[in-house]
Amino acid sequence: MIHKRKDYRLKNYDYSSPNAYFITICTKDRHPILWQSVSHNNVGAAIGRPVVYELSPYGKVAETAINKISSIYPTVNVDKYVIMPNHIHMILSIHHIPDTISPSTATIVNQLKGYISKQLGFSPWQKLYHDRIIRNEEEYLNKWQYIEDNPLKWSEDDEYVNLQTFQI
């Protein structure tokens, strides 16, 4: 039996309309390729020091691409983002500018994924992505805080992988 994904998007909703959107893009098979440990050994962890992580070269390409979104799409702002080891969260705000056509969230994400894939020479992304319309200020603030806290909670994540033991 073939499993069919549930369509979570609102029917007849224009995902290019002015609003804020919470976006999640995951790496293929949830491989944690977007971060790397600063020290490439377990010495710090062995003596009780926390292991420090930074963006990997792949993560740096993703960050550069995210930071270009607003210059490519004048009606779009990246209000907040975080690059995690195996996924990216963003809050995108689409604004109305007279005589300007706004891109949909699908266009923005597909262009972002395509650009990063081209720069890397391979596609690190899973096929789909998640977007959610942020419906009010409270939800916006909750998503903002979620993005802010996400790196601190990485070890509690369902997709947590010890980066020191993961090999690309």
Read off the pLDDT band of 167 (50, 70, 90): low
Instruction: Dig out the tokens for 33 from the structure.
Output: 């390729």
CA–CA separation, 107 vs 132, rounded Å?
15
Q: pTM for the full model?
A: 0.84
The region, left, alpha or beta by phi > 0 then psi within -120 to 50, assigned to residue 145 is alpha
- Write down the H helix ranges in the chain: 43-46, 57-72, 105-120, 137-149
Report phi then psi at 50, rounded to 5. -70, 145
pLDDT tier at 161, thresholds 50, 70, 90: low
- Tell me: the pLDDT tens digits for 22-60? 999 999 998 999 998 776 555 555 555 566 789 999 999
Pairing of strands 53-55, 35-37: antiparallel
DSSP string over 104-136: PHHHHHHHHHHHHHHHHTS--B-S--EEEEE-S
Domain 19-155 top-level CATH class:
alpha beta
Position 157 scores a pLDDT of 63
User: What tens digit of pLDDT does each residue of 60-80 get?
Assistant: 999 999 999 999 999 999 999
